[in-house]
Amino acid sequence: MSDTDAAQFTSEDQEWVDAFLAETTLFLGPDPQIMNDHRMAPRTAQEDRLLSGPIDPNDLDRVRKRIVAGLDEAFEMMEQTGAAPGAKWGDLTSAVYSASGDLIHISTGGVLAFASVLHYPVRFINKYWIGDPTVGVRDGDAFIHNDARYGNIHNTDQSMILPVFYDGELIAWVATIIHEGENGAKEPGGMPSSSESAYDDGIRMSPFKIVERGQIRRDLLTFLQNSVREPKLQYQDLKVKLYSAQRIKERLVALLDEVGRDAFVASLRKSLEDIEAEARRRIAELPDGTFRVNFFSDSTLRENVLLKYPCAVTVKGDELTVDWRGAAPQFLNRAFNATLGTAKCGLGQAILGFFWPDLPRGISVMNPMEVLTDEGSCINPGLEAPLGQSLQGAFKTFGVVQALFAKMQYSCPEKYGSLIAPWFNQINTFLFGGLTQHGEFVGNVCADLNGMGGGARAHRDGENSMAPFFAAMADLGEQEIIEDDVPFLQLISKKIKRDAQGFGKHRGGMGYEIAVAARGTPLWGFATVSSGSKFPAVPGLFGGYGCPTYPLAKIKGVNVFQQMQGAPRNWSFDFETLMNAQPFTGARYTTHHMGMGFELADEGEVYMICQGSGGGYGDVLERDPEAVMADVEAGYLSPGTARDVYFVVSDPATLAVDLAATEAARAEERQARLGRGRPYGDFVNAWVTPEPPQHLPYYGSWGDDNSIIHATAWTTQGPVRVSGPMNQLPQIMLPDPNLLALAAQQARIAELEARLQKLDGQ
Amino acid sequence: MTDCFTRFNGIVAGLEDKGRADLRRQGLPETAVRHRLELDMRYGNQLVTMAVVAPRPRLEGIGDVVGLMQLFATDYGRRFGQGSQSPEAGIRATTIRVASYVQGDTVEFDTAPPDGSATAAAPVGSRLCHFAGVAGAVDTPVFDESALEPGRSVPGPAIVTTPTTTYLVEPGWRIETGAHGAIWFLANSPEKEDRR
């Protein structure tokens, strides 16, 4: 049928077509109508009626606090009884929704970013399963999901979504969700950086009913246990999530008994509408205009590339538009793509975690916000894009928004959070997999990622190894408890990494280094899943430096446990010294970028990484020289860096600052800066090129024109630079970097063999 | 723990000896010393451990171990919900602990609410406050911690500031301090009492 015919449909025709299609849907994939809508649902007629009367603010306050108390109780239950490392150290949340699926609130502790993504699966259940005769939603049921395409941060997180009935009416939903880790993906631990297709990402659960009449369905549980590497974890935490969700439900029913149905329903809606009203009031206080930043990632996690993440935030009246158009295209065989919902988590996190940390954590905080992306970009990819390390997208959308917030609020008399440089935002930690000392196969992640350095503030340094930007109250984990569960030791354990500092008038919070080695296991391996080894992971603010780059370092081909038995003094407690001194004979010392696909490690082989720093704030020449030397004294900064970066002159023996010499050195540097400076127009003329350099594997817009995307596509002829609107670009699929390395070696061998033949012939 | 009873009981006996010696050094008669055997237990890899008090001070057979598992399961179900137990994930006893003690006297606290004989405390200042349901600002007396001494009463609306917290007493309510320093929020009418 042509479009002209379709336009002649009568309303009756349309009804027939709709009815036919409703009964004959082949596949209930992620619903774009649900997945593109981050706002709360419109008022129902009933909510409208209830809100037309007076609302007692004390009742509203009581309902909200009781809900939060119930959520916090469930959070505590999950943290205490959960088996996943993520559960124990705070990578989880609990949530309450209205009957329409609007997220009312999440727990105080845990991962705040869930607040902007957890409504999607509930809406899916509401839309498709309630009326489906083969599914249905009844009291005592509960649903599970993990697939980020149906709404999730990433596929390691598994939910338990439970309807709350009151006098037979579906009156609310509750959910509990834990970063479980292992999910049967290509690599152990659930976040495969080497994922090359959506089907490498592991089990992908659309929302389905796992609990009926209060009982976990054993047939489905068995299927799930068979689909992952940790059947025990899958079983145990499913129960943990179910009983924690039931606890919230009990609290809600008790609250309903107390305040009555109408007051409960009215309070939930009023709470959301109040949040939106306050968000609008605060946006209206911001100066109108457009604030822009361009930022980059340096890695697909398989190879070094440059991926652009532009951001333009426009404030107009009481509304915000966040424009991420011009971002790199999706890669169909790389793992860093993030769904639009995941990308918006970065925005929600920046708002609720840092910009307006005092607001209740409800979905409606993002109601006054419009988000623009290119379909087919790495932050709004198609359904076939792998999402194994989709955190990369959310980290970047968080980082660019946070970089702008400080500029937007700088001149506002009233601020609701500190003026802060971007928080460190990569998960520099080890994923692991293998057989434990207890004979169990596991695959999961170390909580060390929770030691991210805080951004510097306008009034003070960032906090060292403070918290992940997405969960202010997450924990680092007790090393003794961890070693009770898994067979590897931290040979360097959480020592602040010297010189890895976001320099500035106020410096970024620094990160720690760790070194791990497996011991007493027949099979073990590690992976790392971060970018930031070539280009800073986060920028600085107002002249402050960004996070320094960092390597992954390995000492392979040697068992350091054996070495240390004979010569313990050969060991050093920082990897800078180990890599420079190379104390173990016969070992291989190598450095790499931080995207290491899972690889096996023999006993005593050492893997070393460090956390990054938060961004610095302000000019290094304005930093208090005593503060610089305090860092030197603490071992956070080398004397050379104090002199070269901060221009602080000190007595090498006593570390006492020579104030006069320092001021002279700084005055000299200011003069040198004037000498290096160029008028802006001259700089632009000399620096800006019409296109990205040909040799650079570059992805995204170039300059200010975000409508044209540049990309290095791979063909049988090798890499080819292409450019055009996003929807006209070829699909990007990169070759296996190991095959490229092999091809280069083969070519070299052929070349040398030809020379040899030539010599033989002479 | 199902096949090492001798070793287990040896550890317990050793801990009892240490506890008895500690109390003897403090001058308590050895014959008065009692012991309580506790095991910290958990399911699988979870963080929480719960102390289970063993009904008998020694393990003599599998029946004793099953009994401990049941005690643990019962307490776990009471805390986290009946059915939430997951023994399939394995049960670990992470700590063996012996509490050695001598029974002392018990202090009885007076838990009765204030009897209404409290005398009003004196404010130290006042400030304007807004209360839900009350139009306009109310000149509200401010008290310091001396208002919370036993036998004192503070009628609402009022604010009581102390070094550690602030008490807001809404209109229609009062606070009274009981004999052991317990602070009672009391409503002036039964209707408000329901909302306590």
What ipTM describes this predicted complex?
0.87
- Total number of domains constituting chain A: 2
- Total number of domains constituting chain B: 2
CA distance A699 to A690: 15
Distance of CA A667 to the CA centre of its chain: 42
List chain A residues with CB under 8 Å of B46: 80-83, 88, 236, 240
Between β-strands B91-101 and B34-43, what pairing exists: parallel, antiparallel or unpaired? Answer: antiparallel
In a domain, B110, yes or no: no
Which residue in chain A is spatially nearest to B80 when comparing CA positions?
A243
How open is the CA angle A462-A467-A468, to the nearest 5 degrees? 110
Does position A607 have pLDDT exceeding 70, yes or no? Answer: yes
Q: What is the pTM of this model?
A: 0.92
Q: Within a 10 A sphere around the Cβ of A626, how many other Cβ atoms?
A: 12
- Using the Cβ of A79 and the Cβ atoms of chain B, whether some distance falls under 8 Å is answered with yes
- Using the Cβ of B86 and the Cβ atoms of chain A, whether some distance falls under 8 Å is answered with yes
List chain B residues with CB under 8 Å of A57: 132-133
Least confident piece of the model among A13-22, A394-403, A535-544, B141-150: A13-22
- pLDDT score of A514: 96
The pLDDT-based confidence of B4 (bands split at 50, 70, 90) is: confident
- Using the Cβ of A260 and the Cβ atoms of chain B, whether some distance falls under 8 Å is answered with no
The pLDDT-based confidence of A298 (bands split at 50, 70, 90) is: very high
Does position A139 have pLDDT exceeding 50, yes or no? Answer: yes
Residue ranges making up the domain that contains B14: 5-101
Between β-strands A319-323 and A304-316, what pairing exists: parallel, antiparallel or unpaired? Answer: antiparallel
Phi, psi angles (nearest 5°) of residue A540: -90, -175
The pLDDT-based confidence of A205 (bands split at 50, 70, 90) is: very high
Strand partners, A617: A506, A541
Contact A451, A611 (CB under 8 A): yes
- Using the Cβ of A483 and the Cβ atoms of chain B, whether some distance falls under 8 Å is answered with no
In a domain, B85, yes or no: yes
Q: Any idea which residue has 């659309």 for tokens?
A: A206
Evaluated on CA atoms A93, A99, A100, A104, the torsion sign reads negative
Dihedral, A528, A529, A531, A537 alpha carbons, nearest 10: -100
Average pLDDT on A138-144 reads: 98
8-state DSSP, A453: P
Picking from A257, A280, A303, the residue at the C-terminal end of a domain is: A280
Between β-strands B183-187 and B173-177, what pairing exists: parallel, antiparallel or unpaired? Answer: antiparallel
Angle between the N-to-C axes of helices A231-259 and A57-81, in degrees from 0 to 180, rounded to the nearest 10: 160
User: Do residue B81 and residue A243 have CB atoms under 8 angstroms apart?
Assistant: yes
Which residue in chain B is spatially nearest to A81 when comparing CA positions?
B46
Between β-strands A319-323 and A369-372, what pairing exists: parallel, antiparallel or unpaired? Answer: parallel
In a domain, A340, yes or no: no
- Using the Cβ of B45 and the Cβ atoms of chain A, whether some distance falls under 8 Å is answered with yes
Average pLDDT on A245-257 reads: 97
Picking from A259, A280, A301, the residue at the C-terminal end of a domain is: A280
- Maximum distance among all Cα pairs of chain A, rounded to whole angstroms: 103
Closest CA to A163 of A136, A194, A145, A189: A136
- pLDDT score of A744: 94
User: Do residue A239 and residue B45 have CB atoms under 8 angstroms apart?
Assistant: no
Copy the structure tokens of residue A356.
């307006």
Distance of CA B165 to the CA centre of its chain: 20
Picking from B46, B73, B101, the residue at the C-terminal end of a domain is: B101
In a domain, A210, yes or no: yes
* Cα dist from A504 to A405, A626, A630, B113, whole Å: 19, 14, 15, 59
Which residue in chain A is spatially nearest to B45 when comparing CA positions?
A83
Interface mutation target, options A55, A61, A76, A81, chain B, most CBs of B under 10 Å:
A81
Phi, psi angles (nearest 5°) of residue A188: -60, 145
Residue type for position B135: A
Whether cis (ω within 30° of 0) applies to the bond prior to B163 is no
Q: What is the pLDDT of residues A739-750, one digit of tens each?
A: 999 999 999 999
Of B81, B86, B133, the CB nearest to A235: B86
List chain B residues with CB under 8 Å of A174: none
The pLDDT-based confidence of A479 (bands split at 50, 70, 90) is: confident
Q: What is the pLDDT of residues A408-424, one digit of tens each?
A: 999 999 999 999 999 99
List chain B residues with CB under 8 Å of A82: 46-47
Do B76 and B29 reside in the same domain of the chain?
yes
CA distance A506 to A420: 10
Residue A212: in which H helix or E strand, if any? strand A208-212
Q: Which of residues 48-77 of B touch A (CB under 8 A)?
A: 48
Q: What is the pLDDT of residues A53-110, one digit of tens each?
A: 888 888 899 999 999 999 999 999 999 999 999 999 999 999 999 999 999 999 999 9
- Using the Cβ of A88 and the Cβ atoms of chain B, whether some distance falls under 8 Å is answered with yes
What percent of the residues of chain B are helix, what percent strand, and what percent coil, each to the nearest 5?
Answer: 30, 30, 40
Q: Where are the alpha helices (DSSP H) in A286-425?
A: 340-350, 391-409
A693-717: b (≥16 Cβ within 10 Å) or e: eeeebbbbbbeeebebbbbbbbeee
In a domain, B27, yes or no: yes
Q: What is the pLDDT of residues A517-563, one digit of tens each?
A: 999 999 999 999 999 999 999 999 999 999 999 999 999 999 999 99
List chain A residues with CB under 8 Å of B135: none
Angle between the N-to-C axes of helices A231-259 and A218-227, in degrees from 0 to 180, rounded to the nearest 10: 130
Q: Residue B146: how many CA atoms within 13 Å on its side-chain side?
A: 5
Do B84 and B132 reside in the same domain of the chain?
no
Q: What is the pLDDT of residues B80-95, one digit of tens each?
A: 999 999 999 999 999 9
CA distance B39 to B34: 17
- pLDDT score of A24: 82
Does position A1 have pLDDT exceeding 50, yes or no? Answer: no
Closest CA to A701 of A393, A325, A392, A340: A325
* Cα dist from A652 to A640, A656, B50, whole Å: 10, 8, 54
Copy the structure tokens of residue B156.
């609402």
Q: How many residues does chain B have?
A: 196
User: Do residue B84 and residue A240 have CB atoms under 8 angstroms apart?
Assistant: yes
Q: What is the pLDDT of residues A352-391, one digit of tens each?
A: 999 999 999 999 999 999 999 999 999 999 999 999 999 9
- Using the Cβ of B44 and the Cβ atoms of chain A, whether some distance falls under 8 Å is answered with yes
CA distance A369 to A364: 10
In a domain, A228, yes or no: yes
CA distance A143 to A507: 46
Picking from A217, A250, A280, the residue at the C-terminal end of a domain is: A280
Do B125 and B170 reside in the same domain of the chain?
yes
User: Do residue B89 and residue A81 have CB atoms under 8 angstroms apart?
Assistant: no
Residue ranges making up the domain that contains A130: 30-280
CA distance A178 to A74: 12
- Using the Cβ of A752 and the Cβ atoms of chain B, whether some distance falls under 8 Å is answered with no
CA distance A332 to A731: 7
Distance of CA A139 to the CA centre of its chain: 34
Of B44, B132, B133, the CB nearest to A236: B44
- pLDDT score of B196: 42
In a domain, A205, yes or no: yes
In a domain, B113, yes or no: no
Average pLDDT on A710-726 reads: 93
In a domain, A204, yes or no: yes
- Using the Cβ of A441 and the Cβ atoms of chain B, whether some distance falls under 8 Å is answered with no
List chain B residues with CB under 8 Å of A484: 94
In a domain, B94, yes or no: yes
CA distance A566 to A569: 9
Q: Any idea which residue has 């307490």 for tokens?
A: B75
- Minimal C-alpha gap between A276 and chain B (Å): 21
- pLDDT score of A19: 85
**Burial class of residue A489 in the structure, from the number of CB atoms within 10 Å of its CB (0-12 exposed, 13-18 middle, 19+ buried):** middle
Does position B115 have pLDDT exceeding 60, yes or no? Answer: yes
CA distance A242 to A90: 17
Q: Which of residues 120-139 of B touch A (CB under 8 A)?
A: 132-133
Write the DSSP string, A68-89.
HHHHHHHHHHHHHH--SHHHHT
Average pLDDT on A715-721 reads: 89
CA distance B195 to B193: 5
Do B86 and B129 reside in the same domain of the chain?
no
In a domain, A660, yes or no: no
Distance of CA A101 to the CA centre of its chain: 24
User: Do residue B47 and residue A58 have CB atoms under 8 angstroms apart?
Assistant: no
CA distance A64 to A268: 8
Do B67 and B128 reside in the same domain of the chain?
no
- pLDDT score of A7: 61
- pLDDT score of A65: 94
Does position A762 have pLDDT exceeding 80, yes or no? Answer: no
How open is the CA angle A190-A192-A196, to the nearest 5 degrees? 130
List chain A residues with CB under 8 Å of B90: 232
In a domain, A387, yes or no: no
Q: Which residues contact A16 (CB under 8 A, 6 or more apart)?
A: none
Of A56, A235, A247, the CB nearest to B89: A235
Between β-strands B138-143 and B158-161, what pairing exists: parallel, antiparallel or unpaired? Answer: parallel
Q: Where are the alpha helices (DSSP H) in A115-215?
A: 119-124
In a domain, B39, yes or no: yes
Do B76 and B39 reside in the same domain of the chain?
yes
Do B52 and B126 reside in the same domain of the chain?
no
CA distance A485 to B46: 10
User: Do residue B81 and residue A235 have CB atoms under 8 angstroms apart?
Assistant: no
In a domain, A699, yes or no: yes
Of A235, A247, A484, the CB nearest to B81: A247
Q: Which residues contact B79 (CB under 8 A, 6 or more apart)?
A: B50
- Minimal C-alpha gap between A75 and chain B (Å): 12
Interface mutation target, options B47, B194, B196, chain A, most CBs of A under 10 Å:
B47
Whether cis (ω within 30° of 0) applies to the bond prior to A697 is no
User: Do residue B86 and residue A82 have CB atoms under 8 angstroms apart?
Assistant: no
Do B123 and B177 reside in the same domain of the chain?
yes
Does position B192 have pLDDT exceeding 60, yes or no? Answer: no
Do B32 and B75 reside in the same domain of the chain?
yes
Average pLDDT on A442-460 reads: 95
- Minimal C-alpha gap between B93 and chain A (Å): 13
Q: What is the pLDDT of residues B28-56, one digit of tens each?
A: 999 999 999 999 999 998 999 999 999 99
In a domain, B25, yes or no: yes
In a domain, B34, yes or no: yes
Contact B121, B154 (CB under 8 A): yes
Copy the structure tokens of residue A287.
């100066």
Q: Which residues contact A376 (CB under 8 A, 6 or more apart)?
A: A329, A330, A382, A726, A727, A729
- pLDDT score of A5: 58
Distance of CA A530 to the CA centre of its chain: 10
